[in-house]
Amino acid sequence: MTGECNCGAVRSEVRAPFSEAGYCHCGRCQRRTGTAASPAGVVAASAFAIVSGAEQVRSWQPEGGKAKAFCGGCGSHLFAGDPATDSIVAVRLGAVDGDPGIRPRWHQWVSSAPAWEALADDGLPRYDGPRPS
């Protein structure tokens, strides 16, 4: 499956099915995306590749968290984790072309969910902090 940023400078491929997907409601994700939650699919780092525009990829390394990668041209959020050193990456589902083949299966950091956006009554498990491994 393929993906890209808004300006098209960065293109990626996910070469295996996502193993899981979920919504993150942490304050970091809210500030990074400007939304109430960030949906992402998890895949082995070895199954993820930037196929063009690697020179445009920028990264922010938060204290105690995984690197957050984005396009330096348009600012689109692309993935979390370092494909070169981490075992998994979390690909932002909004950066995937078409159907990612998976639906979010949980909500994490719901204790940080903003008051201005009600959590969907979708029956998915909810965790006040990080989803248990």
DSSP letters spanning 91-115: EEGGGBSS--S-----EE-GGG--T
Q: Tell me whether residue 117 is in a domain.
A: no
Which pTM does this prediction carry?
Answer: 0.91
Burial class (CB in 10 A: 0-12, 13-18, 19+), 96: buried
Specify if 80 maps to a domain.
yes
Looking at this protein, which amino acid is placed at residue 127?
Answer: Y
Tokens coding 71: 């396009």
Which segments of the chain have a pLDDT < 70?
Answer: none
| Cβ(76)–Cβ(88) below 8 Å | no
Domain span at residue 79 reads: 2-112
Establish if 22 belongs to a structural domain.
yes
Residue in the structure block whose two tokens are 């499956």: 1
Domain count across the chain = 1
- What the block records as the tokens of 116 is 């201005």
Q: Write down the pLDDT at residue 35.
A: 92
Domain membership of residue 125 (yes or no) is no
Share of the chain above pLDDT 70, in %: 100
Within-domain flag for 48? yes
pLDDT at 125: 97
What pLDDT score does 65 carry?
A: 85
The enclosing domain of 89 has a CATH number of 2.170.150.70
User: How do 20-24 and 107-108 pair as beta strands?
Assistant: parallel
Question: 77, 92 in Cβ contact below 8 A?
Answer: yes
Asked whether residue 122 is domain-assigned, the answer is no
Angle, alpha carbons 88-96-26 (nearest 5°): 60
SS3 69: strand
